[in-house]
Amino acid sequence: MIITVFPGQGSQTPGFLSPWLERDGTRALLAEYSDLAEVDLLAAGTEWDAEAIRDTRVAQPLIVAASLLSYAALGEAADASPAGVAGHSVGEIAALTAAGVFSAADGMRLVGLRGRAMADAAAREATGMSAVLGGDETAVLARLAELDLTPANYNGGGQIVAAGALGPLAQLAESAPRGTRVVPLQVAGAFHTRYMAPAVESLRAATADVAVTDPTIRLWSNRDGANITDGRDAVDRLVNQVASPVRWDLCMQSFADAGITGLIELAPAGTLTGLAKRALRGVPSVAVRTPDDLDAAAALLTGAHA
């Protein structure tokens, strides 16, 4: 069982879309996606600097657009589809699109709105996120509770992402739990926490009239790693997950329980394959960063890598 996964915010880097422009149709597709998301994705992915693409309004549609165009390119290269999909945070929009829950057009409209709504929510207070690497999970969670920080992402492989006000995040870095390393993340708010409640309502209203169908392939949820078979349930989880923790650790446990034999991460790739190497030891993976990675990904998807 080969699955594809879609990364979340923070995976973008300046110029990462440039290699993809060599593929026929990429510029036209990005122009279409730009109109839907209300962001100049071509400029953002090829010209803008790190600070510009850190903006939540830009980062979220940029990442989903890259995931969708690289997923389509993989399908062309392999002439095959994965057995299942999952997305980390905003990557769930790409995963639901790949699973046929809603169209790519609706996915790009939703991610544009999601990015704007979450940016507006983040602007209300100065907040951020930091990865806590290593240490004892119980001790880490206890320290976060002391500082009124939320464990926003349980990423597995010994990584928990803390989110909340900037002052407590600075305190966390200054007096980290024993055996841990604290790394501030390049995101502009405390995502997947109570600070995002206003964005939940905006996204819920936007999804009310979206045409939804049940997944055509296996789909796992960030909320609890469950396999979701009902399209409307998948959308409701997507909405609520904006203000609740990402349980990528449970997703990876579900991947293992399902017996996956390979994992492919779509652009802008690297983060999720890195986590998988620690939590899913022995499972081969391919990170599709540029079109040059498509052959290796196609070989894994079709079994030609063996």
Catalytic residues: 89, 192
Q: Are 291 and 19 in contact (CB under 8 A)?
A: yes
Within 13 A of 13's CA, how many CA atoms are on the CB side? 10
**3-class SS letters over the chain:** CEEEEECCCCCCCCCCCHHHHHCCCHHHHHHHHHHHHCCCHHHHHHCCCHHHHHCHHHHHHHHHHHHHHHHHHHHHHHCCCCCEEEECCCHHHHHHHHCCCCCHHHHHHHHHHHHHHHHHHHCCCCEEEEEEEECCHHHHHHHHHHCCCEEEEEEECCEEEEEEEHHHHHHHHHCCCCCEEEEECCCCCCCCCHHHHHHHHHHHHHHCCCCCCCCCCEEECCCCCCECCCHHHHHHHHHHHHHCCEEHHHHHHHHHHHCCCEEEECCCCCHHHHHHHHHCCCCCEEECCCHHHHHHHHHHHHCCCC
